[in-house]
Amino acid sequence: MKKLKTDELNRLTVDQFKDADKNPVILVLDNIRSLNNIGSIFRTADAFRLEGIYLCGITAQPPHREIHKTALGATDSVWWKYWKTGAEAVKDLMDKGYTVLALEQTDQSTPLNEFKPEKSNMYALIFGNEVKGVEKELIMLADRCLEIPQFGTKHSFNVTVSAGIVIWDLLLKLNSL
């Protein structure tokens, strides 16, 4: 067994990425305060070849040195759009026919392992502020809330970890991996 070199990974160029078919998922980052988290989520969106990212509220926008540090160029490949509010972004996605899923712990959340996506649907995944979570207004707009089951003393994951878990699970269930 040998570790592959960068030129052996058959990575797409930015232009090839932009022309490639995407997985029908848009991420909604609502009021994410950490620039490193934003960059990491861009990188994850690139890795899973997602349609794009909606940046909302106080979520910073590229180009920014701190976002670039963790995105490693993914802000050049992943399509994104800024919205003043998460509600405007979600309403736009709903109008376009996306099924909207908020990642939040509520009294009616569906455990991620029990969620069964429809293969014909397009999905929007809402991730909220690192401290306050997804805003109530967005929870009410969402088609449903998903929750990652947890078994320790903490009741939350870092938003970038949550994004990776949920995207992987969704694409696995949609047979996109």
How do the domains of the chain map onto residue ranges?
20-173
For the domain with range 20-173, which CATH number is right: 3.40.1280.10, 3.40.50.2300, 1.10.150.120, 1.10.630.10? 3.40.1280.10
- For residue 65, what pLDDT band results from cuts at 50, 70 and 90? very high
Structure confidence by residue, pLDDT tens digits, 104-132: 999 999 999 999 999 999 999 999 999 99
Does the pLDDT at position 176 exceed 90?
A: no
Has this prediction a pTM greater than 0.95?
yes
Give the residue from 28, 166, 47, 159 showing the smallest Cα distance to 100: 28
How many angstroms separate the CA atoms of 177 and 169, rounded?
Answer: 10
Within 10 Å of residue 11's Cβ, how many Cβ atoms? 10
Coil/strand/helix, residue 101? strand
Helix axes 35-47, 159-173, angle to 10 degrees: 20
Largest CA distance in the chain: 51
